[in-house]
Amino acid sequence: MKVIKSGYQKFLGNIKKEIISARQKAYQTVNRRLVELYWIIGKGIFEKIELSKWGEGIVETLSSDLKKEFSDMKGFSNENLWRMKRLYETYKDYPKLSTLLTELAWSHNVLILNRTSSVEEKEFYLKICINEHWSFRELERQIDSSLFERYMLSKKTDKLIPHAKFKGDKTVFKDEYMLDFLGLRDNFSEKDLRKAIVFNLKQFFLEFGRHFTFIGEEYKITVGGEDYKVDLLFYHRILQCMVVVELKIGDFKPEYAGKMQFYLSALDEKEKLGHENPSVGLILCKSKNEEVVRIAVSKLVSPLKVAAYKTKLIDQKLLKAKLHSLPGPEDIKEDLI
């Protein structure tokens, strides 16, 4: 008869965690070595074709010989060898970026290599994919939704409305959010929008940022004996503050800012803990006029951001044209959301 000692379940749980951790480290080690190998092969092919002038036929010959010698390994097709050469060509003059390649799977690297154009765009997706631990499908979706263009346009306009007492500006609220994954019809209500976001929280956090945790929808605040409800309430682990998200299905109106200020003040007085920073507001509207927003928020006390959202993918060519019409690219910061 088996005897289960007190504390065995905790002991078993710790062992499971160690096994999972070891497996993850083993996978990371294998992946790192694979990408390093592909980098070395790509470098060799580049040097033989571009410098030694052996001709492009070397790739087909090399592919055939490698597949014969290492029949138990995949990845030595003509196409993949050309990808290795292109990877080396692309990053050989950017040592800081080339060191990031081993942090991602080969499939992720190929996707970024094929689906992005500028070095700045590649740097952006390399860093944010590593930070956010995106799967291949998640990375693909963010590229399809033009995250880089939207992020850079946001950096070139306004971020979080400055506030003298607010020192935790380590994240960037986007100027525009892509909510195409909600599957909303053309005529939807604010309730429909809220419910769709709550139902698709995983996808919403991919767009919103991984440091957010969800507190609740229609979160009740009682002031003066009357109940008020904020659409969505989140907590940001890095900023260490509550984040109120108000949803609007039309244009931004100045009175939205005053109402948000009321919510933020009420939360800070009644809910905020001593170690937490002042609450932050995000008003998501279908569209906004920048001058109206600027004047509406200019005298507010609490930090507030007004952003637009789209429920259908934006034409990537239009976004690129808009981005390129503005002053030169800014550096990609380490604190990407």
Secondary element (H or E) of residue 47: none
C-alpha dihedral (218, 222, 228, 231), degrees to nearest 10? -30
**If 0-12 CB within 10 Å is exposed, 13-18 middle and 19+ buried, where does residue 10 land?**
exposed
Q: Which of 73-77, 114-118, 299-303 has the lowest mean pLDDT?
A: 299-303
Q: Which of 91, 176, 181 is nearest to 140 (CA)?
A: 181
The confidence score (pLDDT) of residue 176 equals 83
Q: Which residues pair with 219 in a beta bridge?
A: 230
Strands (E), 143-186: 176-178
Model confidence pLDDT, tens digit, residues 167-206: 444 345 888 888 888 888 878 899 999 999 999 998 888 8
**Does 8 or 130 have the greater pLDDT score?**
130
Query: Which of 183, 160, 180 has the alpha carbon at shortest distance from 314?
Result: 180
Q: What integer best gives the mean pLDDT of the chain?
A: 85
Question: How far is residue 56's CA from residue 53's CA, in Å, rounded to a whole number?
Answer: 9
Dist CA 25 CA 102 (whole Å): 13
Q: If you average pLDDT over residues 156-162, what whole number do you get?
A: 43
**pLDDT at residue 162 in the model:** 39
pLDDT at 163: 41
In sequence order, what are the residues at sequence separation of 6 or more whose Cβ sits closer than 8 angstroms to the Cβ of residue 211?
A: 171, 236, 237, 238, 239, 337
Residue 119: count of CB within 10 angstroms of its CB: 15
Share of the chain above pLDDT 70, in %: 85
The rounded distance, in Å, linking the Cα atoms of 304 and 298 is 10
What pTM, to 2 d.p., does this model score? Answer: 0.66
Look-up of token digits 């507001």: 281
With beta carbons less than 8 A apart as the criterion, state whether 282 and 244 touch.
yes
More confident residue, 233 or 23: 233
pLDDT value at residue 3: 57
Where does the pLDDT of residue 333 fall: very low under 50, low under 70, confident under 90, or very high at 90 and above?
Answer: low
Q: Residue 105 — pLDDT band, cuts 50, 70, 90? A: very high
Residue tagged 């906004």 (tokens): 288
Sketch out the chain's domains with CATH numbers.
9-143 (no CATH), 159-315 (3.40.1350.10)
Say if residue 271's pLDDT is above 50.
yes
| In contact, 52 and 89? CB cutoff 8 Å | no
* pLDDT (0 to 100) of residue 89: 96
Q: What are φ and ψ of residue 331, in 5° steps? A: -65, 145
User: What are the tokens at 196?
Assistant: 């769709």
Task: Output the pLDDT for position 281.
Answer: 93
DSSP string, 218-282: EEEEEETTEEEEEEEEEEETTTTEEEEEEE-SSB--HHHHHHHHHHHHHHHHHT--TTSPPPEEE
What residues are paired with 178 via a beta bridge?
310
Q: What is the mean pLDDT of residues 219-223?
A: 94
Instruction: Give the model's pLDDT for residue 325.
Output: 60
Mean per-residue pLDDT, 246-254: 93
Alpha-carbon span 292 to 289, nearest angstrom: 5
pLDDT, residue 172, reads: 59
pLDDT for 144 beyond 70? yes
What pLDDT, on a 0 to 100 scale, did the predictor assign at position 267? 95
